[in-house]
C-alpha cells in the first residue's frame, strides 16, 4: 500500500534571468516589489545569475536607487545584515529616461546584453508598474528595440507582467489586449491580480480538491449561500486621482472579487495546470447570469454606496467627498454589494453574495459558506429551524485560516447542544508564508501562469460589469440606483441588505 504523505512542499529557484521594472520610482515598486524580491533572495529563490534593472523618469544614479531600495526594505520591516543586503544590491542597476525615447531602451539593452554574456538562455521579465496609459508606449519600444521578441519555441523566454487596471470597460480592455497581442504571444503575458498570490486563496484549491469530504457537498443540494467579503478600514489614501475615475466596482469587483467567486464555484479542473484551471474559471464566469439592463431591476441585485464621516480606531475620519483630490459632489462608489446567480446544474438555487468596501468597521477578507438546514430534527421539540446551520469560513486576511461551525453535545445535562468551531490558523504553522508578490514574481520567472489572469477572464468580467457601469454612470438613473451613504467605521450601508430580496439572509457581521 502506498504511504500517505504528511506534507509536500516543492519550490525551486528559477533559471538565470533579469527583471526590468518600469515605474521603479513608484509606490508599488517600493512597497511591494523590492521587499518581495529581497525576501525571495533571502529564501534562496532568486536565480543564481540574476540582474534587476529599475527604470523610471526620475533622475538618479544606480547608487541612489540602491539606497532607495534599502530604505524601502527598512520600511517593510526587513533588517538583514548589511553584507547580505550589499550582496543583493550588487545585482541592481538603474536606468533613467523617457518612456518614449528609444535611447532609454538602448541603455537597458546594453545592461541586459552584458549580463547575458556567457549565461545560457537567460530569460527577461519586464514588469509594467506604471500608469496604464504608458503600457502601449513601453510595448512599442520594447518591440522596436528588439528587447522582448521571443523565438517560436520561447527559448530564451521574454515575459511581460501587466498590473491592473486592465482597461476601464470592455472596450478599453479589448484595446489593451489588441496592443499586447501585436507584440506578445499569450504565453508571454502575465496579468497580475495580487489576490491570487495570497496563500489562503490558493488554499481554496487545496481545500476543495485535496479532500474527499468537501467536493461531494459542494453544490446546491448542500450549500444554501456563499458570502464573499473584502472589507477594508483604509480609505483611498493618496490615490484620489486614480480612485475618483475608477470606483470600487472596477477596483475590486472586476478582478479580485470575481476571481475569488470563480475559484469557489468553478468545476474541478482535470489537473493543477495553469490552463486547465483557467479554463474552469472562464467557464464559471460564463455561467454568471448577466445583470439586468433595466435600471430598476438592477437596483435589486447590486447596491453602491460612498462613505461619509465617521470614527475608526478612535479617530475621526473625513467623508469620501472631503478627501483631498475628490470632487465635492463625487458620484464614485467606495462600497458595492451584489447578488450573483450561477446558472448551471451545480449551483442553481444557491445564493452568491459579494461585497467590498473601504472605511468599514474591520479589515477582513473571507469566504463564508453556509450549509442548508438539516432536513428533519430528531431532537424533541427542537425543530430544524432551531438548529444552527453549519458554516465553513475561509479567512483570507488578516487571521488567515479556516473554521467550520458544527453543532455538538456540550458537557452538562443530557440534552445540551451548541455550536462549536473547528478552527485552523496559519499562524499555528508559523504564519501564512510568502507575500502575494513573492509568490507571483517567482511563478512568473518559472513560467507558471496558474495564478495569473488569462485574457478570456478579463473579457468575461468586463462583459458582466459593463451594463452596471453604464446604468450607474448615467445621472438619470440616480433615482432608481442611488449612491447610499454609510458612516466610516460602520458595517456598511443598511441598504446593502436589498440584495437579499425576500430571503431571510443577512450580511455576516464584520466586527463581532
Ligand atoms: C488593490 C486595490 O488591488 O487591492 C486597492 O486597488 C485595495 O484599492 C487593495 O486597497 C486591497 O488589497 P489587500 O491585499 O490589501 O487586501
Atom of ligand 1 nearest to the CA of 234: 10
Q: Which three cell numbers stand for residue 420?
A: 462549536
Write down the pLDDT at residue 462: 97
For the chain, give me the number of helices (H) and strands (E)?
Answer: 14, 16
Calculate how far, in angstroms, residue 466's C-alpha sits from the geometric centre of ligand 1.
Answer: 21
Which residue minimizes the CA distance to atom 2 of ligand 1?
Answer: 251
Whether 256 sits among the annotated catalytic residues: the reply is yes
Which residue minimizes the CA distance to atom 6 of ligand 1?
Answer: 251
Which residues does 314 contact at the CB level (< 8 Å), separation at least 6? none
- Our mutation pick for probing the ligand 1 site, out of 235, 256, 358, counting the most ligand atoms within 8 A of Cβ, is 256
Which residue minimizes the CA distance to atom 13 of ligand 1?
Answer: 195
Calculate how far, in angstroms, residue 251's C-alpha sits from the geometric centre of ligand 1.
Answer: 8
CATH fold, domain 12-163, is Rossmann fold (3.40.50)
Active-site annotation holder among 238, 256, 351, 376: 256
Query: Which ranges in the chain are annotated with CATH 3.40.50.720?
Result: 12-163
Calculate how far, in angstroms, residue 374's C-alpha sits from the geometric centre of ligand 1.
Answer: 38
DSSP β-ladder status, 123-128 and 158-162: parallel
Sign, CA torsion 357/361/366/368:
negative
How crowded is the C-beta side of 200, counted as CA atoms within 13 Å? Answer: 21
Q: How far is CA 338 from CA 304, 316, 369, 464, in A?
A: 9, 29, 16, 12
Taking each helix axis from N to C terminus, what angle separates 102-116 and 135-144, rounded to the nearest 10 degrees? 60
Atom of ligand 1 nearest to the CA of 236: 8
Calculate how far, in angstroms, residue 237's C-alpha sits from the geometric centre of ligand 1.
Answer: 11
Continuous segment of H or E residues that includes residue 205: helix 199-209
Atom of ligand 1 nearest to the CA of 239: 8
Taking each helix axis from N to C terminus, what angle separates 135-144 and 170-183, rounded to the nearest 10 degrees? 10
For 306-324, b where at least 16 C-beta lie within 10 A, e where not — what string?
bbbbbebeeeebbbbbebe
Calculate how far, in angstroms, residue 82's C-alpha sits from the geometric centre of ligand 1.
Answer: 32
Write down the pLDDT at residue 432: 63
Atom of ligand 1 nearest to the CA of 365: 16
CA 133 vs. chain centroid, Å, equals 21
Atom of ligand 1 nearest to the CA of 248: 8
Which residue minimizes the CA distance to atom 4 of ligand 1?
Answer: 252
Atom of ligand 1 nearest to the CA of 251: 6
Q: Which pTM does this prediction carry?
A: 0.93
Which residue minimizes the CA distance to atom 9 of ligand 1?
Answer: 252
Query: Which ranges in the chain are annotated with CATH 3.30.360.10?
Result: 197-370+448-500
Q: Is 220 helix (H, G, I), strand (E, B) or coil?
A: coil
Calculate how far, in angstroms, residue 27's C-alpha sits from the geometric centre of ligand 1.
Answer: 13
Which residues form ligand 1's pocket by a CB distance below 6 Å? 194, 232, 251, 365
Which CATH superfamily includes the segment(s) 197-370+448-500?
Dihydrodipicolinate Reductase; domain 2 (3.30.360.10)
- Our mutation pick for probing the ligand 1 site, out of 229, 232, 395, counting the most ligand atoms within 8 A of Cβ, is 232
Calculate how far, in angstroms, residue 166's C-alpha sits from the geometric centre of ligand 1.
Answer: 15
User: Per-10-residue mean pLDDT for the chain, 512 residues long?
Assistant: 63 92 95 96 94 97 97 94 93 97 97 93 95 92 94 88 92 94 94 92 91 96 98 93 95 96 97 93 98 97 98 94 96 98 98 98 97 92 88 92 92 84 88 84 94 95 97 97 98 98 93 84
Amino acid at each position: 500500500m502506498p504511504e500517505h504523505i504528511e506534507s509536500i512542499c516543492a519550490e525551486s529557484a528559477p533559471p538565470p534571468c533579469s527583471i526590468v521594472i518600469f515605474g521603479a520610482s513608484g509606490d508599488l515598486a517600493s512597497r511591494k516589489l523590492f521587499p518581495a524580491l529581497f525576501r525571495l533572495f533571502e529564501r534562496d529563490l532568486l536565480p543564481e545569475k540574476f540582474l534587476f534593472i529599475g527604470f523610471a523618469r526620475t533622475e538618479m544614479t544606480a547608487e541612489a536607487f540602491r539606497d532607495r531600495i534599502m530604505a524601502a526594505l527598512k520600511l517593510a520591516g526587513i533588517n538583514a545584515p548589511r553584507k547580505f543586503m550589499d550582496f543583493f544590491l550588487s545585482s541592481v542597476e538603474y536606468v533613467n529616461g523617457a518612456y518614449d525615447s528609444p535611447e532609454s531602451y538602448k541603455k537597458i539593452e546594453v545592461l541586459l546584453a552584458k549580463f547575458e554574456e556567457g549565461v545560457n538562455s537567460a530569460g527577461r521579465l519586464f514588469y509594467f508598474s506604471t500608469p496604464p496609459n504608458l503600457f502601449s508606449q513601453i510595448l512599442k519600444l520594447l518591440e522596436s528595440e528588439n528587447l522582448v521578441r521571443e523565438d517560436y519555441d520561447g527559448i530564451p523566454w521574454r515575459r511581460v507582467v501587466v498590473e491592473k487596471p486592465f482597461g476601464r470597460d470592455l472596450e478599453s480592455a479589448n484595446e489593451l489586449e489588441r496592443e499586447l497581442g501585436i507584440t506578445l504571444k499569450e504565453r508571454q503575458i502575465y496579468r497580475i491580480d495580487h489576490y491570487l498570490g495570497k496563500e489562503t486563496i490558493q488554499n481554496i484549491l487545496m481545500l476543495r480538491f485535496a479532500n474527499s469530504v468537501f467536493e461531494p457537498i459542494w453544490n446546491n443540494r448542500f450549500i444554501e449561500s456563499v458570502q464573499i467579503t473584502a472589507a477594508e478600514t483604509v480609505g483611498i489614501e493618496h490615490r484620489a486621482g486614480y480612485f475618483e475615475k475608477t470606483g470600487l466596482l472596477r477596483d475590486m469587483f472586476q478582478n479580485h472579487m470575481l476571481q475569488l467567486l470563480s475559484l469557489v464555484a468553478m468545476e474541478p479542473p482535470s489537473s493543477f495546470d495553469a490552463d486547465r484551471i483557467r479554463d474552469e474559471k472562464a467557464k464559471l464566469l460564463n455561467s454568471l447570469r448577466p445583470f439586468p439592463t433595466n435600471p430598476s431591476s438592477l437596483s435589486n441585485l447590486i447596491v453602491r454606496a460612498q462613505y461619509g464621516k465617521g470614527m475608526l480606531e478612535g479617530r475621526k475620519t473625513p467623508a469620501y467627498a472631503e478627501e483631498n483630490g475628490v470632487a465635492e459632489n463625487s458620484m464614485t462608489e467606495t462600497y458595492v454589494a451584489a447578488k450573483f446567480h450561477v446558472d448551471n446544474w451545480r449551483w442553481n438555487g444557491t445564493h452568491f453574495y459579494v461585497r467590498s468596501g473601504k472605511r468599514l468597521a474591520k479589515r477582513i477578507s473571507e469566504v463564508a459558506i453556509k450549509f442548508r438546514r438539516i432536513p428533519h430534527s430528531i431532537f424533541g421539540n427542537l425543530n430544524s429551524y432551531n438548529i444552527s446551520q453549519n458554516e465553513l469560513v475561509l479567512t483570507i486576511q488578516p487571521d488567515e485560516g479556516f473554521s467550520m461551525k458544527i453543532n455538538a453535545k456540550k458537557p452538562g445535562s443530557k440534552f445540551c447542544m451548541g455550536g462549536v468551531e473547528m478552527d485552523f490558523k496559519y499562524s499555528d504553522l508559523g504564519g501564512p508564508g510568502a507575500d502575494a508578490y513573492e509568490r507571483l514574481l517567482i511563478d512568473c520567472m518559472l513560467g507558471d501562469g496558474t495564478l495569473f489572469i488569462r485574457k478570456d477572464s478579463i473579457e468575461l468580467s468586463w462583459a458582466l460589469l459593463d451594463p452596471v457601469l453604464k446604468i450607474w454612470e448615467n445621472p438619470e438613473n440616480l433615482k432608481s440606483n442611488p449612491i447610499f451613504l454609510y458612516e466610516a467605521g460602520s458595517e456598511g450601508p443598511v441598504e446593502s441588505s436589498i440584495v437579499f430580496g425576500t430571503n431571510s439572509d443577512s450580511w455576516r457581521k464584520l466586527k463581532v
